[in-house]
A = this chain, B = another copy of it.
Amino acid sequence: MEICPKCSTNHFVIRAGMIRGKVRYQCKSCQVHFTQEQSAKPIPQKQIHTTIKDIANIMGVSIATVSRALNNKPDISPKTREAIQKLALELDYNPNLFAKGFQRGETKTIGVVIPNIKRPFFAGVLSGIQEVANERGYRVMICQSNESYEAEISNIQGLLASHVDGLLISHSKETTRFNQIKNLFEKGLPMVHFDRICTEVDTPKIRQEDFEGAFQLVEHLIQQGYQRIAILAGPPELLISQKRKEGYLHALEKYGLVIQKDYMVHGDFSKEFALASLDKWLQLPEPPDAIFAIHYLNAVEIIQYAKKLGIAIPKQLGIVGFGDEYLAEIVDPPLTVFHLFPQKVGEIAAGLLFDVISSKDSTRQADVLVQGQLIIRKSSLKKA
């Protein structure tokens, strides 16, 4: 409380309303009214963040009152509320969200772990996640594993230390052990898997039509009259790799084509491996007449390389891939693909995570299949 200018003590001073933005005081002993000069409580200049305490000091009210005013609580007089809100605006006060969440033990932040931001698929997913998170008032913290198990572990650890309210994960291709994840899941950390999911934990999962898409691509090749269809798959541990291969096999079986071991290779998605595979295939007594690359980039690389070797696409060799990018349209001939919808994957994943977070039921299961779409382009049109 302020000091009375007459008796020089604050013993009997009480607040007596506000006048022209200043707080008015009265000394009960001297009966003197006075206002606080602004020089005594200067608005701090070189300070990035205004706090409710600053506001409380300036206004001469308690921090609780300021808190109430700024949160539009009912039990506060409209005048005080407005005055406080006006001042807050002037000082461009914005609340410290972490302090706010501190009590409830939440940070309004979610963590995302992905292999690589630069891959268009993941960039699309991130975009979807961001959008939903923004709507819900959450912030997003992104980490890249760069396909390293170790980095993934330490990323998750870091996000945990940041006390994220939940985790969205797409595992690295190295990841085969899931103790950390399992542990966190059992402790009740909200968590959702997408794309590179983990079957060892009962988290909600967002998968894509890996099996279905592969089936449709290969079926399309068969219907175009291709007979000897090869598959360029990814690391065999990777679930999407398995699923896409299963779709491939299922199509061959359904149409009674021979399944030939020579036509199936597992690589690491690298360009070198893709080109080497094509070389190997061409040396077979009966080379394949079509190639299904489970990664669109490999498909594009193979198109370029085949052209260089003088192979006619699609007449001599049909090529299809998984995952659509602008690149697939541009390459010559344009690439037939099974189009995924990364943005959608991100939106759904984030939505599901927020469901888990708000339901407090981390054991909720879900298995969402995001539909893709077969886009037929010239690279596979043998008949045309």
Contacts and interface: CB of A to CB of B under 8 A. Distances in A.
Interface in A43-71: 46-49
Number of copies: 2
Interface stretch (A115-123, A199-207, A251-259): A115-123
A348 to B, nearest CB: 17
A161 B99 CA distance: 10
Interface stretch (A74-82, A222-230, A327-335, A372-380): A327-335
Interface in A121-149: 123-124, 126-127, 130, 139-144
Contact of A139 (B162, B183, B331): B162
A177 interface: no
A162 B118 contact: no
A107 B98 contact: yes
B162 A144 contact: no
B130 A123 contact: no
Interface of A: 46-49, 92, 94-99, 102, 105, 107, 109, 116-118, 120, 123-124, 126-127, 130, 139-144, 157-163, 183-184, 187-189, 297, 300, 304, 326-327, 330-332
16 contacts: A46-B188, A49-B105, A95-B161, A97-B161, A97-B162, A98-B162, A116-B127, A120-B120, A123-B123, A130-B143, A139-B141, A139-B159, A141-B141, A327-B330, A330-B331, A332-B332
